């Protein structure tokens, strides 16, 4: 079977129609994901990749041997040259599926996913300004600047409602972010000043950033298109995505002297170790340790 990236719903539906037992098994899988309060993106990625595997073998995943799965993963990675992200999502999905069907030992036999300690790409402050200026419309400039201003995730930007912005308190309410948690993020003074102009010119109805249909969220691909088109008009050679703006936000805050714990809270990281990675990127001038007694009485040199 030749592997092709296709629409999630088409792939899953095809597997339900063509693979014996997949429809019933997938219903059980879907139910478990809902009960575990897994994200929509996890459900889509796991479901699509598991359906591809089922279509390839003509069997439900738990009826495929470990050897066959390893060969399948090898072919997709080496010969079909799929991304490491697709490989990881397939392995994670298989582990989840096997545990669901009481096959813990098989789940443990899945390939180990190595945690590569690569540092994220970060734009300089000047590069951020160049990128925002390069955007072709006021809406696009405002979108990129807004994403950077609060270190928002792509999903958070898409689902942000106009009513979630409190100009008076300078806060943005992120509802059910990663981990199903709410949090408040600072609202930039510049964004607060430009917001009335944006609302008047763009006229969004419900969500701050809407697609072509009024009242509906802007698509992920459309948002990524915005940053890609802006990049083409600059000399920036870095590999940049919307998430790069989030990395840049955190790094620049560190360089501005904001403490790591405040940045953790703003980013919505559950574990401080996730935030600490920015310490390896930020260009922070070290300060010599001193006794607070000297500061207290003005004896610091």
Catalytic residues: 153, 178, 243, 246, 269, 278
The CB density around residue 90, as the number of other CB atoms within 10 Å, is 26
Alpha-carbon Rg of the chain, whole angstroms?
A: 23
Nearest by Cα to 44 from 61, 26, 57, 17: 26
Report the distance separating Cα 244 and Cα 231, nearest Å: 12
As to burial, measured by CB atoms within 10 angstroms (0-12 exposed, 13-18 middle, 19+ buried), residue 283 is: exposed
Q: Give the containing element (helix H, strand E) for 157.
A: helix 154-158
Nearest by Cα to 90 from 46, 145, 152: 46
């Amino acid at each position: 079977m030749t592997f092709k990236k296709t629409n999630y719903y088409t792939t899953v539906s095809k597997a339900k129609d063509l693979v014996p037992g997949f429809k019933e098994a997938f219903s059980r899988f879907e139910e478990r994901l809902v009960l575990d309060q897994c994200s929509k993106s996890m459900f889509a990625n796991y479901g699509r990749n598991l359906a591809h595997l089922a279509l390839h073998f003509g069997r439900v995943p738990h009826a495929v041997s470990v050897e066959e799965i390893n060969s399948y993963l090898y072919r997709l990675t080496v010969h079909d040259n799929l991304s490491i992200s697709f490989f990881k999502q397939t392995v994670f999905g298989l582990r989840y599926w096997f545990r669901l069907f009481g096959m813990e030992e098989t789940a443990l036999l899945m390939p180990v996913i190595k945690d590569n300690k690569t540092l994220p790409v970060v734009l300089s402050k000047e590069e951020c300004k160049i990128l925002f200026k390069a955007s072709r419309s006021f809406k696009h400039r405002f979108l990129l600047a807004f994403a950077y201003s609060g270190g928002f995730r792509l999903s958070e930007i898409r689902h942000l409602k106009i009513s979630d912005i409190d100009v008076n308190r300078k806060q943005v309410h992120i509802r059910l972010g990663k981990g199903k948690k709410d949090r408040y993020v600072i609202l930039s003074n510049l964004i607060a000043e430009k917001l009335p102009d944006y609302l008047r010119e763009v006229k969004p109805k419900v969500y701050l950033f809407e697609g072509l249909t009024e009242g509906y969220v802007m698509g992920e691909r459309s948002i990524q298109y915005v940053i890609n088109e802006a990049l083409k008009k600059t000399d920036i050679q870095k590999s940049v995505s919307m998430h790069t703006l989030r990395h840049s936000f955190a790094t620049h805050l560190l360089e501005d002297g904001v403490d790591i714990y405040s940045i953790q809270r703003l980013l919505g990281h559950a574990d401080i170790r996730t935030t600490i990675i920015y310490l390896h990127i930020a260009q922070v001038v070290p300060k010599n340790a001193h006794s607070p007694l000297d500061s207290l009485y003005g004896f610091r040199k």
